[in-house]
Every structure is written in structure tokens, then in C-alpha cells.
């Protein structure tokens, strides 16, 4: 059994997926999700070379990792993966932000964390599906997220499946990002997302457009 807490700035981080990895076998042994106080328990024996990695998605968004010691609690502080920076996100292109519009966040690289940490969060695990690292709801009010120093993909989107439209009703459009600016400079949108090097506080403006 591996017990511990995911923290940032002394505060427990809830809803974080915590994975126990076997470095020799290159696989995830078991996983758990941190509770409201950041605490977690992973019911599995430690492999010879263990690593515990948390995908942190509460107040702080990023990675935390550490090597567990049998019988001792493990403190996974998000700061171990590098500093966090505020990223302010605003939406343009619609008179009102469409209901259900979400900011999807996915790290390409975390500047100060070992690459194996990010790889561990992407390894397939039975019963776990992810659509991006995490997401936040978007409203008319600018959204501020604390992202770990690294290169991140950001996208504002609302994808409506055709099956969600009842017969005889006007189809609901999906919304995607089609233009973006970072700190006032226009940047390229690739595959409906923008890549941002979060090495300091950033201001991101995403323009969305409706598509059928």
C-alpha cells in the first residue's frame, strides 16, 4: 500500500490521478485519485524501481512525482515539477460564450520535470480514458489557470455529436478555435489548438467559430 498527499503551496489538491509505475517494466502498476484533502491510497505492492506520478488538475495544473519508501507517506508537491505561471484566457468571436465551451489543456513538454513523468501520465491504463490533460469551463469572464512551466496546447472548443440532436430539431453547432493571440501577437492555430511556451505569465486570446 502506498499512501500520500498531492499538495501545492501547502494545500491538498483534489481530483488528481496518481499512478504507481514500474520503471524496469515500463508500465503502470496501479492508480488512484486524490480526495478532497489531496490524500490518496494505492493498493499495490511496490515494484523494485517504483515511481509515483500525479496528474495535477486542481488549483495547480501540472505534474508531481517522487519515489515511494515502504511504510512512509509520500508528499507529492506540484512544485517538484517546476514553477507555475498564471495564464489568462479570453474568448472572442461570439456575442456570448456558447454554453458548454471548454478550455482543453495538454502539455507537450514540462520544462523542469523528468520526461518519464509526462510519459507515465500518457501510458494506457485499463478503465482510464482522457481527452487531454484536463479542461476548464469557459465563460464571458476571463479564465485564469495556473500552469506548470512548459509547452502547452490550448484549445477552446465545444464538440457536439450528431446523435445529440433530436429529430426535427435544428442541429447544434460545434465551436472550435480558429485564431489566437499570445501576449498581443497573433500565433498559428494548428489542429484547432495553439501552442504556448508557458515560461512566464501569459495572456491568451482565442477566437472561436461555429462549425456544422
pLDDT at position 129 over 60: no
* 116 secondary structure, DSSP code: H
Tell me the β-bridge partners of 186.
181
Pairing mode of beta strands 39-42, 60-66: unpaired
Q: How confident is the model at residue 109 (pLDDT cuts 50, 70, 90)?
A: very high
pLDDT at 79 over 80: yes
| 62-76, 87-101, 167-181: segment of lowest average pLDDT | 167-181
Q: In whole angstroms, what is the distance from residue 13 CA to residue 134 CA?
A: 14
Instruction: Indicate the SS3 state at residue 115.
Output: helix
The confidence score (pLDDT) of residue 104 equals 95
Residue 70: CB partners within 8 Å, gap ≥ 6? 46
- Report d(CA 212, CA 210) in Å as an integer: 7
Residue 207 CB burial class (10 angstroms; 0-12, 13-18, ≥19) = middle
Sequence length of the chain is 212
Question: pTM for this one?
Answer: 0.89
How many angstroms separate the CA atoms of 180 and 177, rounded?
A: 8
Amino acid at each position: 500500500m502506498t499512501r500520500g498527499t498531492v499538495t501545492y503551496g501547502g494545500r491538498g489538491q483534489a481530483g488528481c490521478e496518481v499512478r504507481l509505475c514500474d520503471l524496469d517494466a515500463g508500465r503502470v502498476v496501479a492508480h488512484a485519485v486524490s480526495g478532497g484533502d489531496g490524500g490518496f491510497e494505492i493498493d499495490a505492492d511496490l515494484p523494485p524501481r517504483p515511481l509515483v506520478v500525479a496528474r495535477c488538475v486542481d488549483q495547480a495544473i501540472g505534474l508531481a512525482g517522487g519515489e515511494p519508501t515502504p511504510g512512509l507517506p509520500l508528499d507529492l508537491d506540484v512544485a517538484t515539477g517546476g514553477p507555475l505561471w498564471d495564464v489568462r484566457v479570453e474568448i472572442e468571436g461570439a456575442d456570448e460564450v456558447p454554453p458548454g465551451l471548454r478550455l482543453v489543456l495538454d502539455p507537450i513538454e514540462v520544462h523542469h520535470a523528468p520526461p518519464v513523468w509526462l510519459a507515465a501520465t500518457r501510458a494506457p491504463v485499463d478503465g482510464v480514458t482522457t481527452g487531454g490533460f484536463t479542461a476548464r469551463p469557459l465563460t464571458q469572464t476571463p479564465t485564469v489557470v495556473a500552469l506548470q512551466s512548459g509547452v502547452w496546447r490550448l484549445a477552446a472548443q465545444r464538440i457536439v455529436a450528431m446523435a445529440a440532436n433530436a429529430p426535427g430539431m435544428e442541429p447544434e453547432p460545434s465551436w472550435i478555435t480558429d485564431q489566437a493571440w499570445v501576449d498581443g501577437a497573433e500565433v498559428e492555430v494548428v489542429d484547432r489548438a495553439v501552442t504556448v511556451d508557458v515560461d512566464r505569465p501569459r495572456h491568451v486570446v482565442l477566437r472561436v467559430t461555429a462549425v456544422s
